[in-house]
Chain A
Amino acid sequence: MNKKIKNPKPINLLAIIILMCMLSTSLFGQLPFELHGFGEAGIGGRIADDPEEERTSLLEGRFQVDVSREFDIAEFRLRADLLYDHVADSYEIVIEEGKGFIDLREANITFYPMELIDIKFGRQILTWGTGDMIFINDLFPKDWQSFFIGRDHEYLKAPSDGLRTSFFFDLINIDMVYIPNFDSDRFINGERISYWNNTLREISGQNAVTVADRPDKWFYDYEFALRIYKNIDSIELALYGYNGFWKSPNGMDRVNGLAIFPELNVIGASARGNILKGIGNFESGYYYSSDDNGGGNPFIRNSELRLLWGYERELLKELTLGIQYYLEHMLHYNTYKNNSLPGIPIKDENRHLLTLRITRMALNQNLKLSLFIFCSPSDKDIYLRPNSNYKVTDSLAVELGGNIFHGSHDYTFFGQFTNNDNFYVKAKYGF
């Protein structure tokens, strides 16, 4: 992506955000619709210098407006963030990518045309599946950039523009999502987080921002996602299907060198229920990388089998522990290995990942301390997410947290981010 000129007057934007905050507080309560939202300020920095990125990892003011109106047969919702992001290179608005000073989170209408059907149309946040921060059958867009710099975890979910139709029958429930124009992840591209660049074969950042060729032909580059689910007693069972593209670049156009999003088809299943005084879950997915069905194309990611087991339990009062084991198994490993390009690190056939989440609530649940650890024994890397959040009042919360990466190699999933260790503080006022 080409660099854009910095907005010369970001201060104006900050002033607008503050003004909006004040205005909304006085207006609240006298409107024909519900108005809510929050104002948030955050600052974060890298622990050590990153040769390719700025020392400041987060410096932003955010003002969210959440407007909704409910009718008997429909509901309308608009939720948008006005954002002053000092670290961004540009304030130019790209609604699709959430760039610029407006991040449109939701703009949708939900209809209830019949007893059996709900329809949600427009920009919406979509989530399904059973993993905790691990997604197999949830192929809706993620914002990894926000996740790694300390924005609220809700920003890990980027919005989708599409149509969700849900059917509720006695026997089964069906969710169908149609996204007419591919919504990719807001992936790590080097703009604000340095990453392993396979072409340069080194950790890169603003010196080599990923230039991607995103499928973007309306009604041609569509995505379709399906979930069929049912509860048997209290066990939640689901089957999933997806037809679309790898959500982050997982290939390269060998002619022009652009990062590409090859086609992807997924089928999967999940189960979740009470077990051993806690919650157990299992999820699986078969990732069929149809642009490389034999596995011999070194420019396109191989097909994979993905599996996840998880268990969560309240160990002691106000202390919850969650563990997960996740596997990415490459399906045509020998073909992949025999066709790999010289100089590019060869991946393992199996990527094993363990996660641990510890959550401690204290002071009448006004203080929440949590630590999330991702650790891959096969990649030999680790990612720690410590976080503490204190609700000073019902409206005001302060937060302190960090993102710490460590790895034995520069090219593994978390190992590539070792120069991005950061800490942040935030304050949020809700209304």
Chain B
Amino acid sequence: MKKIIVYFTAIFVMTAVHTLAAPEVNEIVKKANNASYYQGDDGKAKVIMTITDRQGRKRIREFIILRKDKTDGGDQFYYVYFKKPSDVRKMVFMVWKHPGKDDDRWLYLPSMDLVKRISASDKRTSFAGSDFFYEDVSGRSIDEDSHKLVEETGQYYILNSIPKNLETVEFASYKIWIDKKSHLPVKAEYLNKSGKKYRTVEALDIKNVQNLPTVIRSRVTNYESGSVTVLEFKDIRYNLGLKANIFTERYLRRAPGVARR
């Protein structure tokens, strides 16, 4: 599915240090964003999320994630149907993502048949208790950081990114490795405000699914808390022809077949 790892944005034109042949940094970032979050017109995956804390205690979440794009790089819809653990079974989390403005988010609690609207202000809050943030799952708007190409190797573009608004995030900067061939970001290292690396997001395994390069295993390590989260993506499919009405209240109350199976 549109993978998970990624951060980028690029708007600042590369500095003159780089060769004229190198693509502009905003092009790299745009392609990385599309490869990570907008692969195909829609997508589906079964996700197994394993959270391991400092003491080695494991928590496992299992969910189906559906995604449909309105426009590449623009608005899109997410539908997350939880299967495990039992206390969140049949719960649904739905997002209408609007890059550049607040997302719309809903949570459906099946035991009360309650459709709850949830506020979208802090996208850097843990997703389902894991080390992934909401923003890691649905993507960080590519206009929120200033990017700079700091190194280019045979395989990677290495970018350094600085948030335009420091107040809204917990990091001071991050460094990101983007695979030249697949355009997928394969690693991101976050530095905190005292310049120390405290968080890493990595793609552990990438495969072609329907000829589209796709992260099938990824990991977030939080060096401050000692917690690690691994995501495994299974049964990945693109271009299923998901109908737009799946991402409405109707299907919060009764999950569509494609999310249940």
Contact = CB atoms under 8 A, between A and B. Distances in A.
Interface of A: 36-38, 70, 72, 75, 110, 118, 124-128, 153-154, 156-157, 166, 168, 173, 229, 231, 234, 236, 272-274, 277-279, 281, 312-314, 316-318, 320, 361, 364-366, 391, 393-395, 397, 428, 430-431
A37 B87 CA distance: 9
Nearest to A66: B89
Given A127-B114, A157-B112, A278 B119 contact: yes
B59 A394 contact: yes
The secondary-structure label for the interface of chain A is strand
Contact of B118 (A118, A173, A279): A279
Given A394-B84, A395-B85, A126 B250 contact: no
Contacts of B53: 364
A229 B250 CA distance: 11
A430 B85 contact: yes
7 contacts: A125-B111, A127-B112, A234-B104, A236-B117, A313-B119, A317-B125, A364-B129
Nearest to B87: A430
Given A231-B248, A236-B117, A394-B60, 19 more contacts: A38-B87, A127-B114, A127-B115, A236-B249, A274-B120, A277-B102, A278-B121, A279-B119, A313-B119, A317-B125, A320-B119, A361-B126, A364-B227, A365-B128, A394-B59, A395-B86, A428-B87, A430-B85, A430-B87
Contacts of A364: 51, 53, 59, 126, 129-130, 227
B4 to A, nearest CB: 18
Given A70-B260, A394-B60, A365 B250 contact: no
A313 B250 contact: no
A269 to B, nearest CB: 17
In the A-B complex, list the 10 residue pairs whose CB atoms are closest, starting with the nearest. A430-B86, A365-B129, A394-B85, A154-B111, A234-B104, A277-B121, A127-B113, A278-B119, A364-B129, A125-B113
Given A234-B104, A279-B119, A317-B122, A157 B113 contact: yes
Contacts, number: 104
Interface of B: 51, 53, 57, 59-60, 84-87, 89, 96, 102, 104, 109, 111-115, 117-122, 124-126, 128-130, 170, 227, 245, 248-250, 254, 257, 260
Contact of A118 (B102, B121, B130, B254): B254
A160 to B, nearest CB: 10
A277 B119 contact: yes
Given A234-B104, A277-B121, A124 B250 contact: no
A137 to B, nearest CB: 14
Contacts of B249: 173, 229, 236
A278 B57 CA distance: 34
Contacts of B260: 70
Contacts of B254: 75, 110, 118
A393 to B, nearest CB: 8
B124 A317 contact: yes
Contacts of B119: 274, 277-279, 312-314, 320
B72 to A, nearest CB: 21
Interface centre among B87, B119, B129, by most chain A C-beta atoms within 10 angstroms, is: B119
A154 B112 contact: yes
B102 A274 contact: yes
A365 B126 contact: yes
Contacts of B115: 127-128
Nearest to B98: A234
A126 to B, nearest CB: 6
Contacts of A36: 86, 89
Contacts of B129: 364-366
A318 B125 contact: yes
B103 to A, nearest CB: 9
A179 to B, nearest CB: 15
Which of A168, A314, A364, A365 is most buried by chain B, counting CB atoms within 10 A of its CB?
A364
A38 B51 CA distance: 23
B46 to A, nearest CB: 16
A70 to B, nearest CB: 6
A72 B257 contact: yes
Nearest to A389: B87
Contacts of A157: 112-114
Given A125-B111, A364-B227, A168 B250 contact: yes
A186 to B, nearest CB: 15
A226 to B, nearest CB: 16
A94 to B, nearest CB: 22
A272 B117 contact: yes
Contacts of B51: 364
A151 to B, nearest CB: 12
B101 to A, nearest CB: 9
Contacts of B109: 154
A38 B119 CA distance: 30
Nearest to B111: A154
Nearest to A72: B257
A168 B139 CA distance: 31
A393 B86 CA distance: 11
